[in-house]
Amino acid sequence: MDKPTPQNVSRSSVIISMLAIATLAFLLFRNGEKWLRGVLIYLSQAGWARATVSNWGVAWRVASRFVSGTDREAAIATTRGLNDKGLLVTLDYLGESCTTPEEALQARAEIVALLDDIEKHKLQANVSLKPTQLGLKLDPQLAYENIRVVVQRAKSVGNFIRIDMEDHPTTDATLNIFRQLRYTDGLDNIGVVIQSYLYRSEDDIEQLIGDGARVRLCKGAYAEPPEVAYPQKADVDANYLNLSRMLLSDKAHTNGVYPAFATHDPAMIEDIKRYVGSNNIPLNSFEFQMLFGIRRDLQIALAQEG
């Protein structure tokens, strides 16, 4: 999709965008990673920010490094290029916290169409989805029914769905949907996400190992209160490595757990690689995951290492 040139954008949009960028830079310098997460989450949900990025050429050139495109055709083309470099791909239809059942249904239709495109073009890709995008905050039953349709469609075309984890009030509902799909509906082509900054995550990982689940481990991206999450990065990192050991344990492997370690941190990656090497863990029993456009050099290097 062609993007308008900068002269087609109002002066006010340019000023707002420049102020947003300046504010983001200041907050990062002044308050570090926690503030940055909060600002990025706000911008991801703000309609004015989305419109500005989509319509201002300079902003779009920056954003397009991290977003594969504005339609499925662009996503498919990007995925094909990444597959050619030896990378597997998880695709997301961006959005969360829908406000009406109709929005949830529209998101469901887009994700089903994306699954059909992946099958049609024989791509090495699966799909992640956010429960709130499919109605979780409106009605957990609505979200469950929408996600079930998506997972059933994925199973029919031999694909896999990852259920993303969002802020902590949705954790139990998200895990309940995961288990209902797996045990009540018998759908085993699903995985879930656990965040290492939550105190509860060790218990959740222990249960998911018992389930033989496919788990993506990430640090967590929401501004959570200290009552439920580690406030210090060092503690989040330490718990990440502790949980990674659990997911790579003999018990987890025996139960069929397939972990995905979502991190751009070279120190974390090297630590996991050393642990894997010293414990003779097969390279095809786990994977690393990174966001599109971040540390592309490291992504390619890891793929070449197997």
In whole angstroms, what separates CA 290 from the centre of its chain? Answer: 9
In whole angstroms, what separates CA 153 from the centre of its chain? Answer: 20
Amino acid at 241: L
The Cα angle at residue 63 between residues 60 and 64, in degrees rounded to 5: 80
User: Catalytic residue among 162, 167, 216, 237, which?
Assistant: 216
The secondary structure of 247-261 as a DSSP string is HTSHHHHHTT---EE
C-alpha span between 141 and 100 (Å, rounded): 14
87: its two tokens: 């990378």
- Residue 61 a catalytic site member: no
- 34, with CB counted inside 10 A (0-12, 13-18, 19+), is middle
- Name the nearest CA neighbour of 93 among 77, 108, 73: 108
- Name the nearest CA neighbour of 123 among 158, 71, 164: 158
User: Catalytic residue among 164, 167, 204, 237, which?
Assistant: 164
- Residue 245 a catalytic site member: no
- At a CB cut-off of 8 Å and minimum separation 6, what does 217 contact? 193, 194, 196, 205, 240, 243, 244, 247, 259, 260, 261, 262
Question: Which residues does the annotation mark as catalytic?
Answer: 164, 216
